[in-house]
Amino acid sequence: MQSEEPEKKTSREKTFVLRNSFLTDIFDDYHTRNLYNVYVIVVTGLCLQNALRHYVNDGRVEFGLETIGKGFAKFDKAILIWLCCFLSTCATFFFFQIWGKFRTWDKKLTRTWDWFWAAALGLYYFYTLKLTSTATLYFEFNPPCAAFVSMESVRLLMKVHSFVRIKAPPLMSASEDAKFSNFLYFLFAPTLIYRDSYPRTNSINWNFVICRLLEAISMLFMFTFIVEAIYPTPERWLAKYTIKDTMLIITEWIPHADLVLCGSFFLVFHSVQNLFAEVTRFGDRLFYEDWWSQSKHSKWLTKWNLLVRDWLYCFVYRDFKHYLCDNNSLAIFVVIVLSFAMHEYVMFCFIGKFIPCFLFLAIVVVFPMFYLNFPKSIFFNVLLWCSSGLMMSATMLMYTFEHYAVMKAPLKDPTLLELIIPRFITCDCVLKF
């Protein structure tokens, strides 16, 4: 496979080396270690604000525990669904072995055999996503559980695809065997690119593990405090909103939207990935680069999440160009649409309804941005931050509206068009024109 591709591409093949995350180094550096305090101050400040507000309003302080309890109400069922996903993922390994073992049994049937299993894999992808979302909606999970289940199912599918895509060519040419222990390690290691072995650290630093775990827990509380701050009472959402109200809420929410943006990044790409990396002694911890200082939208997006970027580059961008159509722009377009469609899928699991908000963003904003070449300057960096805050705030409000619209006026047997058009526009119970 590799040898067939041009030299330029081969040089961008993912190589794993022992290295720290950006923020780990920043928080170790003498000049910048105080930046860590900013995170602690923000979380503590929000906690204090939350406690005071609750004490004054309700006469008691519960530090967001009630909301967290509600959010994780059906976590046992979520774990059950996750277990099904996980076991089916493990099963793919054995089906992969069966495919490899018997494909040369009858040389005439090899091609048919390959196509059969390729189709089976495609169906497996489709039904995993479909069944997960159906189960999520059936159990009426709250956002934390819905996020856990849907994101895990997507992650496991990406792992399966990575494993099959990387192990199939050598198995086809040399009947090389794959070990289940390697596959199992890969499922828990913080990477989406399969290798038989990775650079590993010598030992587990349990202090590091505990710190990352505490960070993750603190982030959970932070999100709870933000949710309680911006959704003060459920009754608020029973009213109808004019365009003016909508714009005011978007404006009001910008600081919280920025906190959600930075907090999600910190939780998912720093704390959780480093936690799993330390526990699995995984050496390469470059899960993200310094997206925050970029001036270009494309750089911002590609440095935000190296895990998925590498996966998209190897298995979508490169494979698309190699097997389907050698057009760079089209390949980029496919990558962006697929990536944003997956965000859309996760949001669908949250509220049980599509609004093609992310797809719209992807096609109208993000794709053209890849072709605008901003010079690296403070002005464009600030522009990027402001537009991100605004977009994040608007997106949060749109999904909130949609959530309440679906609750107030549920759709019975919706057509595809009804499923795609935002319900808060058509239901006449959220917006007032």
Question: Binding pattern to a copy of itself, positions 288-327, x when CB under 8 A?
Answer: --x-xx----------------------------------
Question: Which among 31, 297, 322, 343 is annotated as catalytic?
Answer: 343
Q: Which residue, 48 or 330, has its beta carbon nearer to a copy of itself?
A: 48
Residue from 2, 3, 11, 34 in contact with a copy of itself (CB under 8 A): 34
Rounded to the nearest 10°, the torsion over CA 24, 219, 39, 374 is 70
Which secondary-structure segment (H or E) carries 431? strand 431-432
Distance CA 262, CA 247 (A): 22
Instruction: Check binding of 262 to a copy of itself (CB under 8 A).
Output: no
Distance CA 25, CA 38 (A): 16
Rounded to the nearest 10°, the torsion over CA 411, 136, 212, 290 is -50
CB 213 within 8 A of CB 274: no
Helix H segments across 32-109?
Answer: 35-58, 65-71, 75-102
Residue 237 CB, nearest approach to a copy of itself (Å): 19
Instruction: Check binding of 244 to a copy of itself (CB under 8 A).
Output: yes
Residue from 10, 15, 32, 175 in contact with a copy of itself (CB under 8 A): 32
Residue 35 CB, nearest approach to a copy of itself (Å): 8
Residue from 10, 15, 49, 329 in contact with a copy of itself (CB under 8 A): 49
The closest alpha carbon to 307, from 331, 282, 328, belongs to: 282
Residue 18 structure tokens: 């022992």
Residue 118 CB, nearest approach to a copy of itself (Å): 46
Residue from 18, 41, 204, 372 in contact with a copy of itself (CB under 8 A): 41
Q: What is the DSSP letter of 33?
A: T
Q: Phi and psi dihedrals of 210, rounded to 5?
A: -65, -40
Site for a copy of itself in 7-26 (CB under 8 A): 26
Q: Which residue, 57 or 329, has its beta carbon nearer to a copy of itself?
A: 57
The question of whether 343 is a catalytic residue gets the answer yes
Instruction: Check binding of 44 to a copy of itself (CB under 8 A).
Output: yes
Helix H segments across 175-289?
Answer: 180-188, 206-230, 243-265, 273-279
Instruction: Check binding of 389 to a copy of itself (CB under 8 A).
Output: yes
Q: What is the DSSP letter of 12?
A: T
Site for a copy of itself in 80-109 (CB under 8 A): none
Q: What is the DSSP letter of 432?
A: E
258's CB contacts (< 8 A; 6+ apart) are 385, 388, 389, 392
Count the Cβ atoms, other than its own, within 10 Å of residue 321.
Answer: 19
327's CB contacts (< 8 A; 6+ apart) are 321
Q: Which residue, 1 or 48, has its beta carbon nearer to a copy of itself?
A: 48
The closest alpha carbon to 263, from 299, 322, 215, 211, belongs to: 215
Instruction: Check binding of 36 to a copy of itself (CB under 8 A).
Output: yes
Q: Which stretch binds a copy of itself (CB under 8 A): 173-181, 220-228, 248-256, 310-318?
A: 248-256
Residue 406 structure tokens: 């679906």
Q: Which residue, 291 or 317, has its beta carbon nearer to a copy of itself?
A: 291
Instruction: Check binding of 45 to a copy of itself (CB under 8 A).
Output: yes
Q: Which residue, 205 or 251, has its beta carbon nearer to a copy of itself?
A: 251
Active site residues: 343
Binding site for a copy of itself (CB under 8 A): 26, 29, 31-32, 34-37, 40-41, 44-45, 48-49, 52-53, 55-57, 244, 247-248, 250-252, 254-255, 258, 290, 292-293, 378, 381-382, 385-386, 389-390
